[in-house]
Structure 1
Amino acid sequence: MHTDPDTSRGGLLNLVRHGVFWSIVQSWGGKIATFLLSVFLARLLSPEEFGIASSALLILLLVPMFAELGFGDAIMQRRRLQAADLNLPFYVSISAILVLFAIVVLMSGQISAWLGVPGFSLYIVVISATMLITVPTVFQEAVYKRNMRFRFLAIRTFITHILGGLLAVACAANGFGVWSFVVQAYVVAAISFIWLWRKPQWIPGTSIDLPAFFQMFRFGSSILGQRLLDFIGNRFVDLMIISQLGLTVYGIYAVGSRFYVTMMQMVQGALYDVSLTVLSSIATDRSRIAEVYLKTVSSAATYISPVFILIASIAPEICSVLFGERWEGVNNVAAPLLLLGSVQCVQYMNGAFLSARGRPDITLLAVLAKSVSPLILLLLVPSENVSDMVTLFVIGQLIAAPVSFYLVFRELGLKFSRILRVLGPAIINGIVCFTLVSLARPYFDPLGLHDFWKGIFIGAIYTLIWLTCLAIMDRARLISAVDVLLVSSRNP
């Protein structure tokens, strides 16, 4: 059970490369498959049906978060982990999910009445029962991640999401409606449980280590606090849309936000788990972890943020091709959220570095600012439609972003001028690319191009502008990226 990574520079680099590769396969394979299958579901279901199912999924996000109590991150972060350390956290989480599931069952009628969907209480109870097998899976998965078994997890994730999605599409095509999502949830949860527990990295025992439990609980409770605040900050807009605009409009929002949510999950899943596992092993070396931080956020800003901005630039064409006229207005949700994602894909790494340093309390402050800011705007500023609400949400998130960066700079001993030199070229590049593409868009309208080809041409212009700006402002990084691609092509 005692598995600590090789912290030598060569060993650490190999761990990161191997871990990131398979973590990307795990995260991207499953998420891309799920997104594509959700496109088929959107073609088969109505916005109202999508809104009903998505509202129930909010419960599946929130309740297991309470029950898990942040122990998953505590397992990955703990420097010296013994098998007995996990026993009491596991039993506490199992007890918590049983109690919380009972509460959901008792409140299902009130939730159904609030949503105004007759008979929805049964749906809530049935889909919520998947939580009973999700929480035990979290513990086994955390141990797999700690042991850097990302390849095993990658195969599991890809297969479960493909099977679950295909069955959901088949059910939707045969008139199952919102119950298609229930089938998907059960398939994913059941296969994940069997996949991990048939070859367990850890088996629950009877030995109890109270000091270890309280140490992990202190760390995990801070993580839980962060996630709850993050949930409130990110999902309060969902509740506002449901209560003020109804489930049909919420269905539009749920589909439009899929681009942003999927891409953020891909970034988080690919980098956060590996970062937390590996960075925890060098957390006491402040200067070393600071250098790793600069390289990480610089790479994210240079290569990942432009992808978010690119998709935002051609969101009208993508949404038209994928969803059709039935889902009009989806692009007005997708575009601003994707622009927000171009900032958050860099910002998100702050949490991994602070947690690795054993400072989730500081991260909690950043998450508090991130949660409170959009909440205040949504409550105080009137909004008449979903586009207004999304805009307020994005502005609120952006206002709070500097707090997160300030806290990590202070913890790692970094000066603002240094981080500005690192991120400055990428920030300017992103602004220039989006502005020029937005100015060029009206010139395509008289050409009468199909949205598919219009999106291709606009995307090509964006890419050309991005490469030109990168060559002007950060030529060394462009040359380095080309060298990596050439080496990879020669050594597949």
Structure 2
Amino acid sequence: MERRQGVGPPTTGQEDAGAGTAPESAAGTAPETAAPSIGRLAGRGLRWGVAGTLLTRAGSFLMGLVMARLLTPEDFGVYAVALAAMTILMTVKDLGVMAAVVQWRGGLEEVTPTATVLSFVSAIGLYAVFFAGAPYFAALAGAEEAAPVVRLLTAVILVEGFTAVRSAVLMRRFEQDKITMAIGAGFLANGTIAITLAAQGAGAFSFAWGQVTAAVIAGTIMFRQARLPLRLGFDRDVARRLLRFGIPSAAAIGIETMLLNAGYIVVGDIMGPIWLGYFLLAFNVSSWVPGVIGAAVRYVSVPGFSRLSEHDPAAFAEGVRRSSTALLATVLPVAMVMVALSHPLIALLYGERWDSSAGVLRFLALAMVTRMLTAFALDVLTGQGNTRAGMWMNVGHGVLLIPMLIAGTRLDGIRGAAIGQALAGVLVALPIAAFMLRRCGVPIRPIAASMLRPLAAFGCGLAVTAGVNWLTPGPALAELVLGAGAGLIVYVALVVPRQRLREVAGQVADRLGRRSRLTRE
């Protein structure tokens, strides 16, 4: 593990993941007392992270239903190009400085003046590059009309550059409740502005103005909640320490984000904005689980693994095994429903005119599973301080992903692009992630063995879901309820140990019995 002069072992988290770390008092606890302290802090952060992401994702889902009826597939395609640009830009906006502040082992007064200056400078410089390059980026994606939307939407980085260090301070203190409330306030403004503008015919600009408004409101609230004086300064030694760890972390996340959005660029360039709109809708649906579970897990995974790898390597390895298996077991039933019931799901939620997205969704759902696992592997590597390993893991994935996306799109349109993305995840990303984890000392065989049970349950549940759907055709809602219900029953019965099922059944029976007695009394 790399060490820095004057700083403890690097245990940085990912900027966009909302990673937090224990306060300074916890950082200095003895190994035997660190784990319970970390568990309490991480548990609180995870609860707020889950609550916040559930609320915002549920709101985004409802907003998407409304917007899909107000806008055209071409509007969605134009927005997809701008969203890809903003997402790429946001991951590297501060060169990893925010993540480094979260994990800084010294006092805040030592690091925040320099970190604030670095955040300002990087945000302004990167926005200038994207402002000038917006026409070229839009042309590359096959939607030249998206350039003005790209320029507007990427202006969010200017707000983030102003508030990044304050957000990092809140994460450092595990004050995810304040972050969640700020984001919630911004989201309400986003929905109001975007839907109002869409109803008035603003097209893709309605999305952009909504997000810019949300960034300003959420950023202002977090800036005040951090209770940190605005001090500017520049210390070369502090800057060197921040960038030495932050740049590889930002590079790894930036490459991960570019890979995530590569489908937009390839489909837009080859198929045009209308087909890109169908692809975007399916991709958004497949991103529900990463958006909720993945975002919440990243609030605590990096700092948690950082502390465990530092104090207790055996507990660290076991934590990786149990967490990765639990993550897979949680994600697979959602993927099962999306794969087997993509057509009724899209028809019920968005209407028959979006049916072209259904064939794409079933393959993007498989890609979603691999995406969750590789993102988790990146968290583990970052928690160990192996940010360069995470960076090279994503580079290796990208080398083969892009050709597979291009070949798939040319052979079979947007469905081929989704197939290429799924195959790249299974055949390339997962093996590279396993190799990097093993190289960094994480045992892979116990992890693979523990994943066999949920994978077998997934196969059986998928067969039952598809079979019930084939035998009972009908309205979309009925197909979803019957097919998903049957498949989930089979999945749960196979993946959850019988002893645990009996315990849960006993607890439910006890609660029902107590309620019945109270009612009679």
Per mean C-alpha deviation after superposition, the further-off stretch among 284-293 and 457-466 is 284-293
Q: Indicate which of 27, 30, 47 corresponds to 2:73.
A: 47
Distance 2:369 2:91 in 1: 26
Letter matched to residue 272 of structure 2: G
1:103 aligns with 2:129: yes
Q: Contact between 2:115 and 2:239, CA under 8 Å: does it hold in 1?
A: yes
Give the secondary structure class of the aligned counterpart of 1:8: helix
Q: Indicate which of 463, 471, 492 corresponds to 1:443.
A: 471
Per mean C-alpha deviation after superposition, the further-off stretch among 201-210 and 51-60 is 201-210
Distance 1:215 1:485 in 2: 53
Q: Contact between 2:178 and 2:225, CA under 8 Å: does it hold in 1?
A: no
Q: Contact between 1:137 and 1:192, CA under 8 Å: does it hold in 2?
A: no
Q: Indicate which of 283, 288, 297 corresponds to 1:262.
A: 288
1:396 aligns with 2:427: no
Please name the residue that 2:24 is paired with: 3
Please name the residue that 1:239 is paired with: 265
1:454 aligns with 2:479: yes
Q: Residues 402 and 77 (structure 1 numbering): CA distance in 2 closer, same or farther, change over 3 Å?
A: farther
Q: Contact between 1:267 and 1:345, CA under 8 Å: does it hold in 2?
A: no
- CA drift at 1:482: 6.3
Q: Contact between 1:52 and 1:178, CA under 8 Å: does it hold in 2?
A: yes
Letter matched to residue 301 of structure 1: L
Please name the residue that 2:348 is paired with: 321
Per mean C-alpha deviation after superposition, the further-off stretch among 452-461 and 430-439 is 430-439
Q: Indicate which of 156, 159, 180 corresponds to 1:154.
A: 180
Q: Residues 470 and 125 (structure 1 numbering): CA distance in 2 closer, same or farther, change over 3 Å?
A: closer
Give TM-score, length-normalised by structure 2: 0.86
Per mean C-alpha deviation after superposition, the further-off stretch among 407-416 and 422-431 is 407-416
- CA drift at 1:244: 0.7
- CA drift at 1:28: 2.0
Superposed, 1:218-229 pairs within 5 Å as 218-229=244-255
Distance 1:484 1:384 in 2: 51
Superposed, 1:198-217 pairs within 5 Å as 198-217=224-243
Please name the residue that 1:387 is paired with: 415
Distance 2:356 2:130 in 1: 33
Superposed, 1:61-460 pairs within 5 Å as 61-111=87-137, 120-284=146-310, 285-380=312-407, 382-400=410-428, 401-416=430-445, 418-445=446-473, 449-460=474-485
Distance 1:420 1:225 in 2: 28
Q: Contact between 1:27 and 1:265, CA under 8 Å: does it hold in 2?
A: yes
Give the secondary structure class of the aligned counterpart of 1:163: helix
Q: Contact between 2:23 and 2:173, CA under 8 Å: does it hold in 1?
A: no
Distance 1:479 1:300 in 2: 23
Distance 2:509 2:70 in 1: 43
Q: Contact between 2:81 and 2:150, CA under 8 Å: does it hold in 1?
A: no
Distance 1:488 1:13 in 2: 28
Q: Contact between 2:142 and 2:268, CA under 8 Å: does it hold in 1?
A: no
- CA drift at 1:453: 1.3
Q: Contact between 1:286 and 1:412, CA under 8 Å: does it hold in 2?
A: no
Matched positions, count: 485
Distance 1:433 1:245 in 2: 35
1:466 aligns with 2:491: yes
Where structure 1 has 5 or more consecutive residues not aligned to the other structure, the ranges are none
Letter matched to residue 164 of structure 1: N
Distance 1:27 1:139 in 2: 21
Q: Contact between 2:66 and 2:195, CA under 8 Å: does it hold in 1?
A: yes
Distance 2:164 2:63 in 1: 24
Per mean C-alpha deviation after superposition, the further-off stretch among 95-104 and 330-339 is 95-104
Letter matched to residue 124 of structure 1: V
Distance 1:478 1:30 in 2: 32
Distance 2:450 2:248 in 1: 30
Distance 2:356 2:114 in 1: 49
- CA drift at 1:211: 2.9
Distance 2:505 2:161 in 1: 43
- CA drift at 1:64: 3.0
- CA drift at 1:226: 0.9
Q: Contact between 1:433 and 1:466, CA under 8 Å: does it hold in 2?
A: yes
Q: Contact between 2:348 and 2:477, CA under 8 Å: does it hold in 1?
A: yes
TM-superposition CA deviations, 1:83-135 (whole Å, max 9, x none): 32232232123112222222333333444555666765443333332321122
Q: Contact between 2:434 and 2:444, CA under 8 Å: does it hold in 1?
A: no
Distance 1:26 1:347 in 2: 23
Q: Contact between 1:312 and 1:336, CA under 8 Å: does it hold in 2?
A: yes
Q: Contact between 2:298 and 2:379, CA under 8 Å: does it hold in 1?
A: yes
Give the secondary structure class of the aligned counterpart of 1:217: helix
- CA drift at 1:459: 0.8
Give TM-score, length-normalised by structure 1: 0.90
Per mean C-alpha deviation after superposition, the further-off stretch among 48-57 and 157-166 is 157-166
Where structure 2 has 5 or more consecutive residues not aligned to the other structure, the ranges are 1-21, 515-521
Give the secondary structure class of the aligned counterpart of 2:231: coil
Distance 1:52 1:165 in 2: 19
Distance 1:430 1:272 in 2: 25
Kindly report the root-mean-square deviation, in angstroms, between the aligned alpha carbons of the 2 structures.
Answer: 2.7
Q: Contact between 2:331 and 2:369, CA under 8 Å: does it hold in 1?
A: yes
Q: Contact between 1:336 and 1:391, CA under 8 Å: does it hold in 2?
A: yes
Distance 1:470 1:2 in 2: 37
Please name the residue that 2:498 is paired with: 475
Identity %: 16
- CA drift at 1:250: 0.5
- CA drift at 1:350: 1.6
Distance 1:292 1:481 in 2: 24
Q: Contact between 1:305 and 1:343, CA under 8 Å: does it hold in 2?
A: no
Q: Residues 268 and 81 (structure 1 numbering): CA distance in 2 closer, same or farther, change over 3 Å?
A: farther
Letter matched to residue 477 of structure 2: F
Distance 1:488 1:201 in 2: 45
Distance 1:134 1:38 in 2: 24
